[in-house]
Amino acid sequence: MTAPWWTSRRIRHLQELSGAVGRQPGEPPIVSMGSTGPPHIEHPYFIRDRLVSDGAQVTRPSIDPYREPVETFIYLCEGRIRLSMPLIVKIRPEADQTFVMAAVKACYCMNVLVEVGPNLPEGLEKYGEGVIADISMMGRTDFAAYITTRSNICRSDRPLFVRTAPALSYDWVVQATSLGVSGIYIDEDLAGEAPVEVATSLLDRELRKKGIRNRISIVAGGSPIRGSDDIYKLVALGADAVVMSTAVEFAVGLHDSRPEGEAIRERVENLLLGIQRELKLLAGAAGVSNLFNSLVGNRELLRAVELEREVRQQLGVKQAGVG
Amino acid sequence: MLRKAGAARIRAEEALCSIECVRYRGSKYGAGFAAYKVEGVSEGLFKVKAFVRGEDALLHLKKILSEYAGGEIFELGFETQGETQFLSWTASVQAPVHSLRRAVDKANYDLINSGIKGRIYSWGRYVEVFKGVGYPADVARLYGLVERDAQADMWIAHTRQPTNSPGIYPIWSHPFSSYEWAIAHNGDISSFGANMEFMRYRGVSSFVGTDSELIVHILDYLTSIAGLPVEKASLALVNPFENTLVGAEHSALGLGEYIEFRGAWLDGPFSVVAGYCDGEDVYMLALADRSKFRPLVVGEDGARIYVASEEAEIRALSEDADVWPVKPGGVFLASMKRGIILRGREHVQVFYRKVRTSPPSRGLVIDASARSYSQINRLVREYFQSGAREVTVKNVNGHRYLGINVPPGCRLNIYGTAGNCLANFNKGGEIIVYGSAQDDVGDAMYGGRVVIHGDARDVIAQALQGGEIFVRGSVGNRAGIQMREFRDSTPFLIIGGRADDYLGEYMAGGVAMVLGIDALDLDECLVGKYVATGMVGGRIYVRGRVERWRIGLPPPKLDVLRYLKGLYLEGLIDYYTLNKLGSTKGEITLDDIRANLSSEPLRRISKLFTSKYHKDLKVEERRLGDWDLKLVTGPLRRFFTEFGLDQRLYQRILESKFTIIETAQAAAKREQNVEAEEG
Distances (CA, A) of B387 to B361, B380, B391, B409: 20, 11, 11, 11
pLDDT > 70? residue A108: yes
Cis-peptide into A259, omega within 30 deg:
no
Which residues of B are less than 8 Å from A77 in CB distance?
Answer: none
Q: What is the pLDDT of residue B559?
A: 98
In a domain, A36, yes or no: no
pLDDT of residue B19: 96
Q: Which of A30, A276, A280, A290 to mutate to test the interface with B (most CBs of B within 10 A)?
A: A290
Mean pLDDT of A144-148: 97
Confidence (pLDDT) at B354: 93
Confidence of residue A1 (pLDDT cuts 50, 70, 90): low
Which residues in chain A (250-279) have CB-CB distances under 8 A to chain B? 266, 269-270, 273, 277
In this predicted structure, the answer to whether residue B167 has a pLDDT above a threshold of 90 is no
pLDDT band at B40 (very low <50, low <70, confident <90, very high): confident
What pLDDT score does B71 carry?
85
Residue B84's pLDDT is: 64
- Does any domain span residue A205? yes
Residue A1 included in any domain: no
Residue B262 is predicted with a pLDDT of 97
pLDDT of residue A323: 63
Q: In A, residues 195-234, which contact B (CB 8 Å cutoff)?
A: 204-205, 208-209, 211, 213-214
Q: φ, ψ for residue B660 (rounded to 5)?
A: -115, 125
The fold for domain B2-41+126-345 equals: Glutamine Phosphoribosylpyrophosphate, subunit 1, domain 1 (3.60.20)
pLDDT value of position B654? 95
Q: Which residues of chain A make contact with B593, given a CB cutoff of 8 A?
A: none
For residue A293, give the nearest of B267, B566, B613 by CB distance: B267
**Residue A31 counted as domain residue:** no
Size of interface A-B (CB pairs under 8 A): 161
Predicted confidence (pLDDT) at residue B270 exceeds the cutoff of 90: yes
Q: What is B439-457 written as a DSSP string?
A: S-TTTT-EEEEEEESS-B-
For residues B230 and B333, the answer to whether their CB atoms sit within 8 Å is: yes
Q: How far is A11 from chain B (nearest CA, A)?
A: 22
User: Given A24, A82, A108, which is nearest B558 (Cβ)?
Assistant: A82
Answer yes or no: is pLDDT of B558 > 80.
yes
Question: What local confidence, expressed as pLDDT, does residue B272 receive?
Answer: 98
Coil, strand or helix at B588: coil
Minimum Cα–Cα distance from A292: chain B residue: B262
The residue of chain B nearest to residue A62, with distances taken between CA atoms, is B268
CB of B192 within 8 Å of a chain A CB? The answer is yes
Tens digit of each residue's pLDDT (9 = 90 or more) over B451-494: 999 999 999 999 999 999 999 999 999 999 999 999 889 999 99
- Write out the residue range of the structural domain in which residue A282 sits: 8-24+42-319
> Going by C-beta distance under 8 Å and a sequence separation of 6 or more, which residues neighbour residue B472?
B353, B452, B453, B454, B496, B497, B643
> Least CB-CB distance to A273: which of B200, B558, B607?
B607
Integer angstrom CA distances of residue B203 from B73, B213, B485: 23, 14, 57
Q: Which of B1-15, B19-33, B160-174, B340-354 has the lowest mean pLDDT?
A: B160-174
Average pLDDT of the residues in B595-610: 97
Mean pLDDT across the stretch B57-85? 89
Predicted structure pTM score: 0.97
Q: Pairing state of beta strands B31-36 and B2-3?
A: unpaired
Predicted pLDDT of residue B83: 61
pLDDT at residue B199 greater than cutoff 90: yes
Looking at the DSSP assignment, which residues form a beta bridge with residue A133?
A116, A146
The answer to whether residue A58 is domain-embedded is yes
How far is Cα A92 from Cα A109, in angstroms, rounded to an integer?
Answer: 20
Task: Name the pLDDT band for B247 (thresholds 50, 70, 90).
Answer: confident
- Residue numbers in A near B569 (CB within 8 A): 105, 108, 126-127
Q: In terms of CA atoms, which chain B residue is nearest residue A69?
A: B553
Query: Residue B383: left if φ>0, alpha if ψ -120 to 50, beta else—which one?
Result: alpha
pLDDT at B41: 79
Could B188 and A60 be called an inter-chain contact, meaning their C-beta atoms sit closer than 8 Å? yes
SS3 B17: helix
Report how far residue B417's alpha carbon sits from residue A16's, in angstroms, rounded to the nearest whole number: 54
B596 near B635, Cβ under 8 Å? Answer: no
| Contact residues, B window 251-290, toward A, CB-based 8 Å cutoff | 255-256, 259-265, 267-269, 290
- B647 exposed, middle or buried (CB, 10 Å; 0-12, 13-18, 19+)? exposed
A101: distance to nearest CA of chain B, Å? 12
Closest CB to A290 among B192, B267, B567: B267
Residue with the larger pLDDT of the pair B164 and A140: A140
For A313, other C-beta atoms within 10 Å of its C-beta total 11
pLDDT at A88: 98
Min Cα–Cα distance to chain B from A154, Å: 25
Which of A26, A67, A299 lies at the smallest CB-CB distance from B506? A67
Find the distance separating the first CA and the last CA of chain A, reported in whole Å.
Answer: 42
CATH class of B365-551+625-672: mainly beta
pLDDT in tens, A185-203: 999 999 999 999 999 999 9
Q: What rounded mean pLDDT belongs to chain B? A: 95
B260 to chain A nearest CA, in Å?
6
> Is B607 in contact with A289 (Cβ distance < 8 A)?
no
Yes or no: say if A13 and A37 are a contact pair by the CB < 8 Å rule: no
Cβ within 8 Å of A, B 201-220: 201-202
Q: Do A293 and B569 touch (CB under 8 A)?
A: no
Choosing among B251, B255, B262, which should be mutated to test the A contact, i.e. which has the most A CBs within 10 A?
B262
Residues A164 and A191 sit within 8 Å (Cβ to Cβ):
no
- B381 pLDDT higher than 80: yes
Structural domain total, chain A: 1
At residue B109, the pLDDT reads 96
Is B558 within 8 Å of A294 when comparing Cβ atoms?
A: no
Rounded to an integer, what is the distance from CA B285 to the centroid of its chain? Answer: 13
Which positions ≥6 away from A135 have C-beta within 8 Å? A146, A147, A148, A152, A154, A156, A160
- C-alpha angle B404-B409-B412 in degrees, rounded to nearest 5: 45
pLDDT of residue A29: 86
**pLDDT tens digit string along A72-92?**
999 999 999 999 999 999 999
Determine, for residues B562 and A273 on separate chains, whether the beta-carbon distance falls below 8 Å.
no
For residue B677, what pLDDT is reported? 77
User: What does the alpha-carbon distance between residue B639 and residue B334 come to, in Å, rounded to a whole number?
Assistant: 36
**Chain B window 583-602: which residues touch A at a Cβ cutoff of 8 Å?**
none
Q: Which residues of chain B are within 8 Å of residue A205 when distances are taken between CB atoms?
A: 197
Residues of B in contact with A68 (CB under 8 A): 291, 502, 530, 533, 553
Q: Locate the chain A residue with the closest alpha carbon to B199.
A: A208
Compute the distance between CA of residue B186 and CA of residue B188 in angstroms, rounded to an integer.
Answer: 7
- Taking an 8 Å cut-off on Cβ atoms, the answer to whether A299 and B239 are in contact is no
Helices (H), B95-206: 97-113, 136-143, 192-200
Nearest-CA distance from A1 to chain B in Å? Answer: 35
Please, which contacts does A18-24 make with residues 24 or more away whose CB atoms are closer than 8 Å? Answer: A18/A251, A18/A252, A18/A253, A18/A267, A18/A268, A18/A270, A18/A271, A18/A274, A19/A266, A19/A267, A19/A270, A20/A251, A20/A252, A20/A253, A20/A256, A20/A257, A20/A259, A20/A267, A21/A253, A24/B612
Query: Which of A82, A124, A212, A294 to mutate to probe the B interface, most B CBs <10 Å?
Result: A294
B 432-471 residues with CB below 8 A of A?
Answer: none
Q: Which amino acid is at B187?
A: G
Spell out the domain ranges in chain B.
2-41+126-345, 365-551+625-672, 557-606
Q: Please check the confidence at residue B336 and state whether its pLDDT lies above 90.
A: yes
Residue B298 has pLDDT above 70, yes or no: yes
Task: Report pLDDT digits (tens) over A153-165.
Answer: 998 999 999 999 9
Asked if B388 and B366 touch (Cβ cutoff 8 Å), the reply is: no
Domain of A128, CATH number, reads: 3.20.20.70
Chain A CB contacts of B260 under 8 Å are 78, 214
| B193 interaction partners in chain A (CB closer than 8 Å) | 236, 297-301
What is the band of A60 on the pLDDT scale with cuts at 50, 70, 90? Answer: confident
H helices of A33-131, in order, are 97-109
**Which of B190, B198, B265 is the closest to A60 by Cβ?**
B190
Please report whether residue A142 resides in a domain.
yes
Query: What pLDDT shows up at residue A11?
Result: 95
Mean pLDDT of B28-40: 94
Q: Reduce the DSSP state of residue B576 to 3 states and report it.
A: helix
- Tens of pLDDT, residue by residue over B89-118, are 999 999 999 999 999 999 999 999 999 999
Q: Which residues in B lie closer than 8 A to residue A24 (C-beta atoms)?
A: 612
Give the pLDDT of residue A259. Answer: 85
With contacts defined as CB-CB under 8 Å, which chain B residues touch A69?
241, 530, 553
